[in-house]
Amino acid sequence: MPFITAVDTVDIRFPTSLTLDGSDAMNPDPDYSAAYVIIRTDAGDDLEGHSFVFTIGRGNDVQVAAIDALRPHLLGADIDELLGDMGAASRLLTTDSQLRWLGPEKGVMHMAIGAVVNALWDLRSKRAGEPLWLHLARLSPEELVSLVDFRYLSDALTPDEALEIFRAAVPEREARIAELLERGYPAYTTSPGWLGYSDEKLERLAKEAVADGFGQIKLKVGANLDDDIRRLRVARAAVPAGYPIAIDANQRWDVGSAIEWVNALAEFDLAWIEEPTSPDDVLGHAAIARGVAPIRVASGEHVQNRVIFKQMLQAESIAVMQIDAARVGGGNENIANLLLAAKFGVPVCPHAGGVGLCELVQHLSMFDFVAVTGTMEGRMIEYVDHLHEHFVTPTDIVAGAYRAPTAPGAGGEMKADSIVAYRWRGLRAVSD
């Protein structure tokens, strides 16, 4: 029987702050980074599990240390046993009676668990010879339900309800797989909208986004209202009438400020306001949703776990759910989040961009289409044209849509040369 022989970690950082890529009102100078993990075995098949946690520079070493803290749970473990029951594998990590105290189920420890779980899924889908989205979509409803931890969810979603959702999708699964392979999955882009970009660059990139077929653009806001008005005026003039423009405050405001600020921008016909306040403030999001209607509230990229998502849906705090593939407890918990969204009838438009987030999260949205909701209506995956060249299987965008990945794995494996070149050495994120 094969065993896990190594759990290797790397602190990887890209100097994106030099060009202000990724800049917003709360994070003006991010260095897009990855706390990277590789799971190796003695199976003799040359297959490895790769994944990461996305961060934006300082503190990435802390995130790496959190992944390192999980190593004793994995070294020497029977890899066939772990991969054969991914629900149990996930719970092995989330229920450690001592490490759990550091969360519980939130913060850097939970994100570390997500990286490890995603790496295990990467290895499992590589062994199956399938991309992760397809591998998940062809599991039985019963096996899919077994992946989800329903603890703390049963007042909103029960295993029987989840089973019903999965079973309802089965008859159309193969047709949806064929449709996805032909059409891809709709995307929107934030590439024009970074706060540090000039008006000229914003205008050029907005026009390019329309020409490239993206169904929506998104602008960062929240630092200065007059600047936001000017930038939105530039963006609105650059795109066709009625073209969707969303805005993202990245948690900048208190509840009252959010309502006032968004209403001051309402003339620009906004698709949604994203992260208007603290991601932990369920009732604050609900108050903002009432105060800015009919503009929708979107949130989720920093939501800590399935329990917060449950409360947001119960409180009608969000009209658009945004999951992050490298946050929460990885793929298993994000399946729970997709089920919750389906139960409450809220579309999921994932957060992406960053380092490899596009590569990871596309699998979850595609799985959702095939095996959960059966629809792409009102759903899009965020896309940002940054750093894809560093991945073994980068995203493929055609006519504003994600093409369905066909390579085995979960998409998070970085090129060996990039890992070496951008390994953090304490002073700069480039090779000597």
What is the DSSP secondary-structure string of 40-106? EESSSS---EEEEEEE-STTHHHHHHHHHTTHHHHTT-BHHHHHH-HHHHHHHHHT-TTGGGG-SS-
d(CA 246, CA 283): 22
C-beta separation of 190 from 384 below 8 A? yes
- Domain 171-411, what fold? TIM Barrel (3.20.20)
* 285 counts as catalytic: no
* 220 counts as catalytic: yes
Catalytic hit among 50, 135, 220, 285: 220
pLDDT tens for residues 159-205?
999 999 999 999 999 999 999 999 999 999 999 999 989 999 999 99
Q: Would you kindly state where each structural domain of the chain is located, as residue ranges?
A: 4-142, 171-411
pLDDT tens for residues 117-131?
999 999 999 999 999
d(CA 234, CA 14): 30
pLDDT tens for residues 292-346?
999 999 999 999 999 999 999 999 999 999 999 999 999 999 999 999 999 999 9
Put simply, whether the predicted model's pTM sits higher than 0.95 gets the answer yes
N residues, the chain: 432
d(CA 416, CA 37): 13
Catalytic hit among 110, 310, 351, 390: 351
4-142 CATH: 3.30.390.10
Which residue type, as a one-letter code, is found at position 412?
G
Half-sphere exposure of 242 (CA within 13 A, CB side): 0
The percentage of residues in the chain with a pLDDT greater than 90, rounded to a whole number, is 94
Beta bridge partner(s), residue 133: none
pLDDT of residue 428: 54
Contacts of 368 (CB under 8 A, 6+ apart): 338, 342, 348, 379
Q: Is the pLDDT of residue 432 over 60?
A: no
Q: Is the pLDDT of residue 430 over 50?
A: no
